[in-house]
Chains A and B, each alone.
Chain A
Amino acid sequence: MSGEVEASTEEQQEIQDTVVSPEKTEEAKLKARYPHLGTKPGGSDLLRKRLQKGQKYFDSGDYNMAKAKMKNKQLPTAAAEKTEITGDHIPTPQDLPQRKQSLVASKLAV
C-alpha cells in the first residue's frame, strides 16, 4: 500500500517538473521530434560544426576516394550541384561557387 503511494508521489513530482519548467517541456518536444539527438548536446558535435564553418571539402581521404572513383568514370561537368561537391568528384577552382566581390557601395553611404 505504502509503495503505491510513494510511486504516485514520484509520478506527481515528474508531472510537476514538466509543468513548472517550460524548458523541460521544450526539451521533451525536441526529443520527440528528433529521437536520435545526441546525449551530449553542448558537446563535440555542435562545437565542431561551429569550428568547421566555411569548410568546403572534407579531407585528403575524401579526395583520394573521389580520385579512385574517377578512374573509371568521366569527370562530371562543373555544372554539377555545387553545394554537394564533397566526395563526388575532384574539386577544382573552377567548380567553386563564384564569390562575387562587393563592387557596389554600401547603401548606408547613400
Chain B
Amino acid sequence: MMAGVGGGNDFQWCFSQVKGAIDEDVAEADIISTVEFNYSGELLATGDKGGRVVIFQREQESKNRLLSRGEYNVYSTFQSHEPEFDYLKSLEIEEKINKIRWLPQQNAAHFLLSANDKTIKLWKISERDKRAEGYNLKDEDGRLQDQFRITTLRVPVLMPMDLMVEASPRRIFANAHTYHINSISVNSDYETYLSADDLRINLWHLEITDRSFNIVDIKPANMEELTEVITAAECHPHQCNVFVYSSSKGTIRLCDMRAAALCDRHSKFFEEPEDPSSRSFFSEIISSISDVKFSHSGRYMMTRDYLSVKVWDLNMENRPVETYQVHEYLRSKLCSLYENDCIFDKFECCWNGSDSAIMTGSYNNFFRMFDRNTRRDITLEASRENSKPRAILKPRKVCTGGKRKKDEISVDSLDFNKKILHTAWHPKENVIAVAATNNLYIFQDKMN
C-alpha cells in the first residue's frame, strides 16, 4: 500500500468528485456534520444538520477504469433524526447527526449507528433485487382475492426487479443522555458500543435498547465545581475492555472495563506538561481536545486540539511522541477568533489505513496532511475552482507576515466561515472524503 501524503515528487492528490449544491446560499440543514467510510471502504456515509444520512457506494472497478478508481454514487438516503422538543426540560433537541459509525459487515445487509444530541439509532441498509410474483390470495396490485373464487393453486416465483435499497431503523437507543452526545464508538467485540456526552459515558449492547450501563460519570455533586467536560471517546480497536476519553482541559484518560464497573478512575492519564509562564486566558480553551482516534494498530492514539494534532504512544503518558502544527499562525489571532466563536470549532482528525499519515481540517477550506515517516506536510484546498476530473491539487501556503509571495494567501484573507471540520480516509486506499460545509469532496492519489 502506498505510503500516502504529499510534498514529495512521487505522490500527488487529484480531484475525483464533488457532491452537493453550488449555490452561495447554504441552507443550515445542508451543512455536513459527519463523514465516515465503512470497514471495506466500499460505502461512504454522510450526516447533516437536517438529520439526513446519505450513503454513497463505490462503483465496481472495471477494465475501462485505468486512469481513476471507482466513483462514489448515491446508494441510499434517509431521514435519520427529526427535530424534537423536550417539554419537561424545556430543551430543543436538534436533529443534527453528530456521528455515524458503521458496524462490521456480517451478512448481506449493512448496519450503521447514527446519533444526534440525545438518541442513537441502528439502521439496517439492505438490498432488494427480487420480488415474488404469482400469489394465490392477492393479485398483482396487492388486492385480496375472494378465496372462494380460487380454483387452482400455484407456487409464487421470484422474479428479478430493479435494485431497491431500503433503510430501516432496527433499534432506537434513547433516554440515556442528559447532556449532548459527542461520540459513539463500536467495540471490537461487535456486540457493544459506547456513547459519550459532556459528563457521562454509557455502554450499550446492540440488541438491548431499554437499558445501558453507565461506565464514566464526571458530574460533580455541585455543578458550580464543574471544571471540565468530556469531549470525545473511543473504544480500542482490538482490546474490547479498553477505551479512552478526552477532556476540555486537554487530557486523555484510558480506562479498563475489567478494573471496575464504573471507570471513574483511569488506568492511564495522558497530559502534556505545560510551561506555566506561557499560560494565558486562551490556554485552556485551545488545549481542549476536539477529537481522539486510535491508530489502526492500536499502539497509538491521535488527539486534535485547536492548533495542533498530537500522536501519543499508549505506553507513554507524560507527553505525546509527535506534535504537528496545523495552523500556528492563528495564535496571533486568538482574540478575534474568541470573539467570533471560531476558537470553539471542533476539528476532527483521521489516520490513513497504514497509520503512516494523518489528516485534519483547517479554515478557508484548507486541509492538512502529515506524513509521520518523512515528516513532510502538505496543505490542500477543497474548492470547485480546482475540480476538473483528475486535476492535481496544488499545495497551498499561508503567508504569516512580511512579503506575501505569489500564490500565497495572507492570514487576514482567510475565510473563517469555510471550515473543514470533518474528513475521512479510506481504510485501505489513498482515497479521502472532505466535507466543506455543504459540499463533499472526494480526492484520490494520482494513478500513473
Q: Which of A48, A51, A54, A110 is within 8 Å of B92, CB to CB?
A: A54
For A31, list chain B residues within 8 Å (CB): 281
**B51→A102 contact, CB < 8 A:** yes
**A99→B30 contact, CB < 8 A:** no
Minimum CB–CB distance for B96 against chain A, Å = 11
For B339, list chain A residues within 8 Å (CB): 30, 33
**B83→A101 contact, CB < 8 A:** yes
**B226→A44 contact, CB < 8 A:** yes
Q: When chains A and B are docked, how far (Å) is the Cα of A43 from the Cα of B223?
A: 11
For B198, list chain A residues within 8 Å (CB): 50-51
Report the contact-size class of chain B (Cβ under 8 Å from the partner): 35 or more
For B48, list chain A residues within 8 Å (CB): 106, 108
Contact stretch, chosen from B232-240, B291-299, B327-335: B327-335
For B79, list chain A residues within 8 Å (CB): 102
For B284, list chain A residues within 8 Å (CB): 41-42
Number of residues of chain A lying within 8 A (CB) of chain B = 41
Q: When chains A and B are docked, how far (Å) is the Cα of A19 from the Cα of B224?
A: 36
Are A54 and B77 CB-contacts (below 8 A) given A26-B335, A47-B248?
Answer: no
For B277, list chain A residues within 8 Å (CB): 17
For B92, list chain A residues within 8 Å (CB): 54-56, 99
B243-280 CB mask vs A (1 if < 8 Å, else 0) is: 00000110000000000000000000000000001101
For B91, list chain A residues within 8 Å (CB): 54-56
**A54→B179 contact, CB < 8 A:** no
**B20→A107 contact, CB < 8 A:** yes
Are A41 and B285 CB-contacts (below 8 A) given A24-B280, A51-B198, A56-B91?
Answer: yes
**B331→A22 contact, CB < 8 A:** yes
A64 lies within 8 A of chain B by Cβ = no
For B285, list chain A residues within 8 Å (CB): 41-42, 46
**B179→A23 contact, CB < 8 A:** no
**B30→A106 contact, CB < 8 A:** yes
Minimum CB–CB distance for A110 against chain B, Å = 8
Are A96 and B85 CB-contacts (below 8 A) given A48-B223, A105-B77?
Answer: yes
**B50→A44 contact, CB < 8 A:** no
Chain A interfacial positions (CB closer than 8 Å to B): 17, 21-27, 29-31, 33, 37, 41-44, 46-48, 50-51, 53-57, 91, 93, 96, 99-102, 104-110
Chain B interfacial positions (CB closer than 8 Å to A): 19-21, 29-30, 32, 46, 48, 50-52, 54, 74, 77, 79, 82-83, 85, 87, 89-95, 117, 179-180, 198-199, 223-229, 248-249, 277-278, 280-285, 288, 331-335, 338-339, 438, 440
Q: List 21 A-B contacts (CB under 8 A).
A: A21-B278, A21-B280, A23-B334, A25-B332, A30-B339, A33-B339, A41-B285, A42-B285, A44-B225, A47-B226, A47-B228, A50-B229, A51-B199, A54-B180, A55-B92, A56-B90, A100-B83, A102-B52, A104-B50, A108-B46, A108-B440
Known: A33-B335, A44-B224, A93-B87. 13 other contacts (CB 8 A): A23-B332, A26-B333, A27-B335, A30-B339, A41-B285, A42-B283, A53-B180, A55-B92, A96-B85, A105-B77, A106-B50, A108-B32, A108-B54
